Every structure is written in C-alpha cells, then in structure tokens.
Chains A and B, each alone.
Chain A
Amino acid sequence: MGALSVRDVCKQFGTSKVIHNVSFEVPDGSFTVFVGPSGCGKSTLLRMICGLESVTSGEVVIDGAEVNDVAAARRGLAMVFQSYALYPHMTVYQNMAFGLENIATPKAEIARRVAEAARMLRLEPYLSRKPTALSGGQRQRVAIGRAIVREPKIFLFDEPLSNLDAELRVDMRAELAALHRRLQSTMVYVTHDQVEAMTLADQIVVLRAGRVEQVGRPLDLYNAPANRFVAGFIGSPRMNFLDGEFAEARDGCAVVSLPGFGLVATDRRADGLAPGARLTLGIRPEHAAIDPVGVVKGGITLVEQLGGLSTVRIDAFDLTVQIAGQTSLRLGETAHIGLPRENLHVFDAAGLALARKDAA
C-alpha cells in the first residue's frame, strides 16, 4: 500500500522555476532513488511529495488519491531528514513516540511499536539516552526508527547518509537495503551519490536542473543512458566522451569520424543524420581497452595502479581506460586504445543517445 505518482509537477519560488513538468511513477513496494547534482531540485521534489512545499501546478497522487492540498501529516508518509532533525530535548524513546502520541495512540501500542523498531535497529540499549549522547550512525537509526513506528505508506529519505563518514555510510547503506527487504514498503530516497543510487535502487530518477533526464532500473541507466548527461552521471569513473562527426551510414549504422584518428564504426542507427553532423562517442573506462591496433593513440599522462585495477589516461580526448589487473605501461609511453563497437554510445548534437540498430 504505497504507490506514488507524480504528474506534470512544477514548482516556482517567486519568479524562478525550479521544477519543470516532472512526471514519474513509483510502484508500490519499490525503492526509488532521486539522483542528480546538487541544486537539481531533488530535495524540493521530495518536500513537495511529503507536503512541506506546496505544488505550483500538476499533481501528486498517493494510492490513487490526489494529495496536493492534504497536510503533510495526513499523507501517511514519514521522512528521514538529512540532519536527522531529532528532538534534542527528548530521549530516543520520546523521539520515536512523539508522532504516535500526537495521534493519541494508546500507551501500550506506542511501547510495543517503539520496542519493535528499537529491536530492528539495535537501539534497545539507548532508549533512555538523549540524541546528543549518540554517535552519528545511532542518530541516523533513531531517525529511521521514528519513521518506522508510524508505519507509513511511503518512507522518504533526504540524503540520509551524507553526514556519515565513508565507512559508516557503506554499513548504513546495507542496513537500509536490508530494512527495505524486511518492511517491503515503498521508499523514496534522495542522494547526489550515484553509488548509493546504483546499489539501493529498484528504480532511479535522474534529475538535472528541475527536469527528469531519465527514469529506469539502475542497469538500464548504465547500459542504455538516454542522453549524454545520464551517461556521464551514472558510472564511476565517468564515461569518456570523444567529439567527432558523422561520416557515413554503413548497413544503416553510423560511422563516426574522429578528427585526426580516422573512422569508428558503431551499432547505432544513422536515421536522418546529415553528413558532417556533430556526434559524440561515449565509452566507459572499463569498456575501452589497450589494443595495439586501437584507433585512438596518445601519450600516457597518468597511470594509477590499484593492484586489482589499473587506470591509464592518455592525452588524446583525455581518454581514461580502466584495465583489470596490473599493467606494464609507463608514463610518457604511447598507447593505442580500442573502442569496442558493442560498448560504444553515440550522442547527437543535442546530447540524445542514438538507438541501437537491433533495438526495435
């Protein structure tokens, strides 16, 4: 019980429009992540869903009912804030019980639910402590516990891990994933960290400057980014982009000419491309390969050996290549890089990806 749909939603602060006609569906029980660079409007969107910001136009629908004018508290949602927003003068128990007291839940029921949440989040030893006496990870769990006890239709998380150190973040990420499996509730999660997005999400909504760039499953976004922005944003290290132009169509597929290096064949459809049109090739570092007959050639400007992985960068296109294992290449040598046809992405002048030939 917790399907959410956002239909054509806009948000305007004064004269500046920060959310532009955003639409997407969050299926019941799914874990959806909003991801995007800071300032892209993802937090604003979340606050509009939970009712802390008004919706300028469009509609937010929860379980089939439009909730634009329903107060935040009555939407049946629970939010975990970036700063946790724990009540500093209350104990952990009181923090979790506050929301239930407000709706006049019987004392015994409150105690039962808090005890259950505390057990689930391993907070039992801390119930009588104040938040200031807790570590960052414990505070985070209290904030989650406060959401759990209310048994909401949808959980909303606003960058919940950004205040934790790197190690704890990995742990909490796993805990959140486990929590989602156990509760089976709908969760909507905001982050600017694409690793969190990739690891947690059933569905990712990529936002930029108040617009949805792409919605899809994590691997779909990785394998078939709809545009250059998504291609660059999802995946780490980021995708290489090589600017070239349309040379010719071969079997209906575009052949791209890279200035100074020659022609590169792709498996992308060349429909409607004019000769000389600007095209950008995209290749992920893990897909490019050191290849003695590779089309791109350049002097090596960086070699990073991580043991299991090596990263090599050449001066042509600032191309980065990730090689499994270790490498004998050295700084200053010349390397040839091969661009495997099946892993190449092609973007037109507007940044949109060209479709694969075999795609319907």
Chain B
Amino acid sequence: MANLLTARRARIGWDWTDWAAHIYLVLGTLIMFGPVLWLVLSSVKSESGLQAFPPTILPYEQASVEVPQRGGALKLFTVTAGAHAGETLAEVRRMGLQSQLVDPAAPDKLIRVKLEERTPVMRLHAAWENFTELFSRFAFGRIVWNSLFITVVATLITLLMNSMAAFALSKYKFAGRDPVFLLMLATLMIPPTIVLVPNYLIASQLGLTDTPWGVIWPAVATPTGVFLLRQYMLTLPDELIEAARMDNASEWRIYWRIVLPLSAPALAVLAIFSVMWRWNEFLWPMVVLTRSESFTLPLALNSFQGELTTQWHYLLAMTVLTLLPVTAIFMVLQKHIAQGIASAGVK
C-alpha cells in the first residue's frame, strides 16, 4: 500500500508526470468510489437525517433524552443566546416563534427560548433499524430468498447446459457443427428487448409466469457462456479424451470426470458472470413476476420508489444489501474475472 501511494517514475524526485498520475488516480477513485461510499453512509442515516439540508456526509441524528415526567423522549437543543445561553435543554413543544424547553435534570420548570436562539444537538448515530425493519416490516427475507434461489439455481443450470453444449461443440466432429456454433453466436446480435415479447408469450403459455422458473429457464442457455467454455475446452488436449475413451470411460464420464474438472477456471468465470447477471437482472423478472411475494431484489427496490413518496432510507439500505454479495464475489474472484474478460472478450 505504501509502495503504491509513493510509486514514482524514477527513484529520485517527483516528476510532473508523477503528480499528474497521482491526481488522475485519486480523482478517479473519488469519482468511482465516492457515490458508493455515500450510498453506504446514507443507508444508515435516519429518515430526517436524509432530508437534512445541507446534507451531511456522516450519519447524524438529533440527540434526545428520556424525560418520564414530560412523557418520554425529548429532543435536545443548545441555547445560543439569552439568559440560558450555553445550556443544553430538552424541547417539550414549539409554540409559534418560541420553544418551550426544560432542563432534563429539573423537568418541572419550563423555559421559553426564541426559535432562532437554539440549535439542535447532533450526534453520530447509525440507523441500523433501516436494515432490521426491512425484515420486520416487509417480506424482505422472502425477496432475498427469491433472488438467491433464482441466482443459484440458474447459475448451476447455466453451467451444466453451457458446458455440455461447449463439450459437444469443441470435442466432437459432426456435420453442421460450425454452422450450429455460428448460429448460436449470431443470437448475440439480437437485442434482448426484441425477444422480450415472444419470450413472454412462451413463458405464459408454459405457465411459468410468477414463478422463479419463469426467470430461470429463458436465461440458462447463454451464447456467451457456450462460447467462453468452448474456447477453453478447445485447449484441452484431445489425447486426454482419447486416453479416457481407451480407459473404458463412457462419454458422460469423460465429460463429468475429465472435461468438467479441467474446465474449472472457465467454469468459475462463467459462474461469476452468471451470478452477476441473474442477481442484477431487472427487465425480464419485471415482465414475468407480477406478485410482490415473487419479486427479486431489483424489483423490490423498484417498488420502493412510489409515485408520490419514496422511502429513501429503506431504499438505500436495500440497495446496500443488494450490492453486498456481488461486491464480495467480485473482490474475492477479481483475478478470474479479469482473465475471463480477456479470454472471452465479454463483459
């Protein structure tokens, strides 16, 4: 880390290119990472904290104190002028331009202070209830389960289907192999929006709407995945497969015991892609899933954005939760992802 921060072109002195590079990189980091950081910090702000102006970077909340004689929690203010200047008092109520305050230590005596002569006492406070309430007030667990189920099952099926197709296309010689492969690749050129309606008609004919399978099945055969795996499998030596054939292995065993384990690096890349695609997928689930209990996370996020009001604190908390798994996967496996992008030319 220290090496990275003080990296220079030459050993001695700072060239202007060093400055330029560092400034560029710091700016880049801020632009890329700033919004994410702000999102995370904002997700633990209280509802009022979010609406405060000017906005704060850290999650602040007005401090309050428990005054049983006055009926519970009262907000704390510091008096800035007048006879009580400098004292920290709890507000009982506002009346017109005046505020009625009490000393929490002596709650019986009301003190009147002009509104502009008091400032709220702020303290750092993370509103974790944004997160916990997601689970208690909404069927958030259900939504997470939907997303998890769709992501995991679709990824497993994707890996299986695509690797079988890739095995056939890379290791068998049959008439029409190359046209079939080209045809598959050609489907990459059709924008998904064009096949949206036909796909929906098929899904509804098959009774797949409003089920997780309606999201899973149409997406499992990806030309990108077949392409990526096929290119990798082409590099496996044919002699290995011939050796296995001499070893009495059935074609399924060759696939399962030899080809699949040896394709693990490519499978890992495709698994990462598939998880990211399925986890973040929005348009197709929105079309297929209509009942809120079958929603996935992106759909639930969307539903928080009402026409009149938006519950920003829940929306932000949920966004953070949605980002976490993909971010974690990316951090752990970024080397494989970079390699996969390089080898397949996809993103």
Interface positions of A (Cβ within 8 A of B): 50, 52, 71-74, 77-79, 81-83, 85-89, 98-99, 102-103, 146, 150
Contact = CB atoms under 8 A, between A and B. Distances in A.
Given A99-B247, A103-B248, A52 B258 contact: no
B68 interface: no
A252 B314 CA distance: 112
Interface of B: 237, 239-240, 242-250, 253, 257-258, 261-262
B237 A73 contact: no
A73 B245 contact: yes
B253 A102 contact: yes
B239 to A, nearest CB: 4
Nearest to A79: B246
> A-B pairs with the 8 shortest C-beta distances?
A99-B247, A85-B243, A85-B239, A102-B248, A73-B248, A89-B261, A81-B239, A102-B249
Interface SS of chain B? helix
B249 A85 contact: no
10 contacts: A50-B246, A73-B246, A85-B237, A85-B239, A85-B240, A89-B261, A89-B262, A99-B247, A99-B248, A103-B248
A85 B244 CA distance: 9
Contacts of B247: 73, 98-99, 102, 146, 150
Contacts of A72: 242, 245-246
A98 B257 CA distance: 9
A53 B158 CA distance: 33
Contacts of B240: 85, 87
B237 A87 contact: no
Contacts of B237: 83, 85
Contacts of A103: 248
Contacts of A81: 239, 242-243
Interface centre among B243, B249, B257 (most CB of A within 10 A): B243
Contacts of A146: 243, 247
A316 B246 CA distance: 53
A83 B248 contact: no
A205 B334 CA distance: 56
Given A52-B245, A87-B258, A88-B262, A102 B250 contact: yes
A85 B242 contact: yes
Nearest to B258: A87
Contacts of B245: 52, 71-73
Contacts of A74: 248
B261 A98 contact: no
Contacts of B246: 50, 52, 72-73, 77-79, 99
A82 to B, nearest CB: 8
B258 A83 contact: no
A102 B252 CA distance: 11
Contacts of B261: 89
Contacts of B257: 98
Contacts of B262: 88-89
Contacts of B250: 102
Contacts of A85: 237, 239-240, 242-243
A11 to B, nearest CB: 16
A244 to B, nearest CB: 48
A87 B261 CA distance: 10
Contacts of B258: 87
Nearest to A83: B239
B255 to A, nearest CB: 13
A52 B244 contact: no
A30 B56 CA distance: 89
Given A77-B246, A81-B243, 11 more contacts: A52-B242, A81-B239, A82-B239, A83-B237, A85-B239, A85-B240, A99-B246, A102-B247, A102-B248, A102-B250, A146-B247
Contacts of B248: 73-74, 99, 102-103
A52 B245 CA distance: 9
A85 B246 CA distance: 11
Interface centre among A71, A72, A98 (most CB of B within 10 A): A98
Contacts of A71: 245
A72 B247 CA distance: 9
Contacts of B244: 87, 98
B243 to A, nearest CB: 4
A223 B235 CA distance: 47
A92 to B, nearest CB: 14
A88 B244 CA distance: 12
Interface centre among A83, A86, A102 (most CB of B within 10 A): A102
A328 B257 CA distance: 66
Nearest to B249: A102
A164 to B, nearest CB: 17
